[in-house]
Amino acid sequence: MAASEYSLRRALVEKQSSIESQGNAVRALKASNAVKADVDEAIEKLNALKLEKSSIEKQLQAAVSGNPDSSVNKEAFRQAVVNTLERRLFFIPSFKIYRGVAGLYDYGPPGCAVKSNVLAFWRQHFVLEENMLEVDCPCVTPEVVLKASGHVDKFTDLMVKDEKTGTCYRADHLLKDFCNEKIQKDLSISAEKAAELKHVLAVLDDLSAEELGAKIKEYGITAPDTKNPLSDPYPFNLMFQTSIGPSGLSPGYMRPETAQGIFVNFKDLYYYNGNKLPFAAAQIGQAFRNEISPRQGLLRVREFTLAEIEHFVDPEDKSHPKYSEVADLEFLMFPREQQVSGQSAKKICLGEAVSKGIVNNETLGYFIGRVYLFLTHLGIDKDRLRFRQHLANEMAHYAADCWDAEIESSYGWIECVGIADRSAYDLRAHTDKSGVPLVAHEKFSEPKEVEELVIAPVKKELGLSFKGNQKKVVEALEAMNEKEALDMKSSLETKGEVEFYVCTLGENVTIKKSMVSISKEKKKEHQRTFTPSVIEPSFGIGRIIYCLYEHSFYMRSSKAGDEQQNVFRFPPLVAPIKCTVFPLVQNQQYEDVAKIISKSLTAAGISHKIDITGTSIGKRYARTDELGVPFAITVDSTSSVTIRERDSKDQIRVNVEEAASVVKSVTDGHTTWADAWANFPHHSGSVED
């Protein structure tokens, strides 16, 4: 906890104690019928202490939230954003006329356009830049695949139930909400208690079911709606189950991620890539998670779009040829040591983080840098973007390192991209389950001589001694590691027999010298066979888009100052419509010019809209600003037109023939609005508002 907050909480406790003492003194004076002057002086002192307490409370509230009214402001801001998004049909609750279903949303026309633009830029920034192999796999996945990957057994969240109504809640959400509420709104808690609650928030993802349940009981947390007691936390699998085929005998699931489709196709993709590493495969598609209690709008939904990359690399060489392009980037990073010790994220140079081992390897660091560039180019505020390292228990047991790109919104810090080094876990798991080796090969320029351990069970001898258990004994012998085998060889040579534990039988058996041959043989190898490691950046597209909406939204006063106008400051890259075309007044000649410009914009591939309504030009500007349209062409003559930029409201005048090319040049990023402002005559529009 920050020193200022700690000292303020201590000061508040002391001030409250002084107020109680002074209150007792006032009551004592009144009870003893003291002279009025003494009573008045004591009351004045009490009131002064209360004013001092109020001042400390305001300072503490500001220290806790950054703004005394920040929670109110955030709620009001969020409501303004969501109201605008729903009213302008960026998104709406699915099945709205039937009262909807929690966690399901439809994208309307502008929302579809923003999503399409984000995905197009994702393909350009990652797939094209890295020559990735893009695939498209089914959403329905056989159970055997997700059993091998661990999802059937482990893809769970901890859930608690209202013991009387049976309503379900996510246990970690209840604890998180309780801690935040106490810290931000209960200023009477001690500095020590506030520090404890902040520590719980820092290690929340690290808590086991038992620890989570203990905290819920310790803090007296009950069901939010009914205040009824809650059950102990227990795991709930988040996958939607289905069956494949009419018999119902082939179980399956709606995929919870797109990655498994890439892993099971590794052998064919490796061959397609000329049997060369490293290479990356990518997939964009729908994923499904049966969320316990969906909330936070587009941030936690049951069906969503994922864009995932699986970068396959030699586990002995995780360098990256283009790492130097991102090594000098500096941005907010939040390593696990800072999280556990209660510190804040700090700006760190990516190259320094990799060289110090904070980030595990160059390839992981390279993708962290590329993700930073992708998000900031979209329009995410770089000062409200951080990369948080997973805590020890939060990270999968097989992962070498994992970082989340988190974006700050009105809901707090939201995980939008996960960048993980998953080691070789997935390919090994599918190799073991399917029996198909998902491996890569490194050919040596010259053959290498290696010593290889050879364990050769004599099946005839083992069969005579162990009969029906022969197979289990053979498998146990062949599964010995090098040390166990050499120890057995030494004992057999000196004693002639040895006791050997067979785990599948659950007992020791006697192995004689005649039953097994153990030796080390020299042979020449022409290639090395290994299972590649995987670096996986996984993008929650809906979450990124919602955070982009919040980061792009602002309100400005109309020229008359009598109303607030909503604006989305989308970069042209993601804006749903790049340009609007307005005839200034309803005039056939102006409308004909607008149609000519529209054809030019269409030919240039610029999304646009013509508005020939009789509404005032100011209202038409305001209407398109609310959709985030960056440029508006106004036809006010037959030879030249004005182009208005959304945020500055500045206008330039260009010839009709040049209008489309100027807009295309700026929206494609070949030039900037500043260039256009410098190169064309300025226009001052008196009818702007």
141-162 pLDDT per residue, tens: 999 999 999 899 888 999 999 9
Tens-place pLDDT, residues 219-276:
999 999 899 999 999 999 999 999 999 988 899 999 999 999 999 999 999 999 999 9
Q: Which residue has the higher pLDDT, 339 or 229?
A: 229
Pair of tokens at residue 98: 């039937």
pLDDT at 488: 92
Coil/strand/helix, residue 324: helix
pLDDT at 71: 57
pLDDT at 14: 84
pLDDT-based confidence at 54, cuts 50/70/90? confident
Helix axes 36-65, 3-31, angle to 10 degrees: 160
pLDDT above 70 (res 551) = yes
What is the distance between the alpha carbons of residues 232 and 373, in angstroms, rounded to a whole number? 43
pLDDT at 560: 67
Residues 6 or more apart whose Cβ sits within 8 Å of residue 204: 172, 175, 176
Pair of tokens at residue 252: 């399956």
Mean of the pLDDT values across residues 493-503?
A: 90
∠ CA 118-124-126 to the nearest 5 degrees? 95
Mean of the pLDDT values across residues 629-657?
A: 94
pLDDT above 50 (res 68) = no
Mean of the pLDDT values across residues 384-392?
A: 92
> To the nearest whole percent, how much of the chain has pLDDT over 90?
64
Cis before 278 (ω within 30): yes
Of 182-196, 343-357, 474-488, the range with the lowest mean pLDDT is 182-196
pLDDT at 364: 97
Measuring CA to CA, which residue among 664, 647, 670, 640 is closest to residue 578? 664
Residues β-bridged to residue 645: 631
pLDDT at 689: 41
∠ CA 643-644-649 to the nearest 5 degrees? 160
pLDDT at 2: 55
Q: Which residue has the higher pLDDT, 503 or 145?
A: 145
pLDDT at 281: 98
What is the distance between the alpha carbons of residues 530 and 408, in angstroms, rounded to a whole number? 41
Record the pTM. 0.80
- Range list of H helices, 105-169: 109-122, 143-149, 151-154
Q: Are 42 and 22 in contact (CB under 8 A)?
A: yes
Tens-place pLDDT, residues 408-441:
999 989 999 999 999 999 999 999 999 999 999 9
Q: Kindly report the backbone phi and psi dihedral angles of residue 342, in degrees, each rounded to the nearest multiple of 5, phi listed first.
A: 80, 15
Using DSSP bridges, classify how beta strands 133-134 and 279-288 pair: parallel, antiparallel or unpaired.
Answer: parallel
Tens-place pLDDT, residues 531-547:
999 999 999 999 999 99
pLDDT above 80 (res 480) = yes
Tell me the residue type at 407.
Answer: I
Per-residue burial over 262-288, b = 16 or more CB atoms within 10 Å of its CB, e = otherwise = bbbbbbebbeebeeebbbbbbbbbebb
Mean of the pLDDT values across residues 50-59?
A: 83
Tens-place pLDDT, residues 188-223:
788 788 888 888 887 887 788 999 999 999 999 999
pLDDT at 688: 46
pLDDT above 90 (res 525) = no
Q: Three-class SS string for 330-384?
A: EEEEECHHHHHCCCCCEEEEHHHHHHCCCCCCHHHHHHHHHHHHHHHHHCCCHHH
pLDDT above 60 (res 66) = no
Mean of the pLDDT values across residues 448-456?
A: 84
pLDDT at 206: 77
